[in-house]
Amino acid sequence: MLSILTNNYGTLMSGLGYTLLSSLIALVFSLIIGTVFALMEISPHKWLRVIGKLYVEVIRNIPLLIITMGFYVIVPKYLLPVDGFTAGTIGLTIYTSAFIAETVRAGIQSVAVGQMEGARSVGLTYTQAMSQIVFPQAIKIVIPPLGNQFINLVKNSSILAFVAGFDLMYQGKIIANATFNTFDTYLVVGLLYLILTMPLSYLMRHLEKKWVTA
């Protein structure tokens, strides 16, 4: 196993870098998109609720690989060129955003109804009451499940290997094919994924203790 790491260190670190970059981009944008659709799902406007629920239900029930391949194969054919890294990152973002939307929606709806009613009764608009009163409380509630979604996102970034995204799994596959040492190669790859996910897990626990108990 050590020889796999030392002989292919540059290749593995390159793959780790692509995995980290894709995960960070997808994490930021899936959180933004997911939050927007969560707010749409609970909007007082029916047409926004319909769009939000439709997006979440459709995306959640389509495999991540299908979404990614759609951007890798269909988009370049009919719209514009998309490389494997971009296609994988977009697919990962869209797929994760649907799960984050449900997580955030559940958090918002778990806040006591009286919080919104009280805010409206003192003259705040729906948007003001949501942004200033309800949403900050909901964020504290959803920290643990959001942490799980972020960890799943990092692991799901291995989808880039199917579209030549140069990520860690892709580089691991190349090394395994070149060395014929599949077991040791994927053991090293698994440990590198663990290096990525463990700090994230501890960070979310720290935030949970800091914010939830505040």
End-to-end CA distance of the chain: 45
| Coil/strand/helix, residue 210 | helix
d(CA 3, CA 173): 16
What are the domain boundaries of the chain?
A: 2-212
Which candidate, 37, 29, 34, 148, places its Cα nearest to that of 89? 29
Question: Which stretches of the chain score pLDDT less than 70?
Answer: 211-214
Residue burial 8-39, b: 16+ Cβ < 10 Å; e: rest: beebbebbbebbeebbebbbebbbebbbebbb
Torsion-angle region of residue 166: left (phi > 0), alpha (psi -120 to 50) or beta? left
**In terms of CATH, what superfamily is 2-212?**
MetI-like (1.10.3720.10)
Q: pLDDT tens for residues 42-81?
A: 999 999 999 999 999 999 999 999 999 999 999 999 989 9
Task: Provide the pLDDT for residue 211.
Answer: 66
Task: Provide the pLDDT for residue 32.
Answer: 97
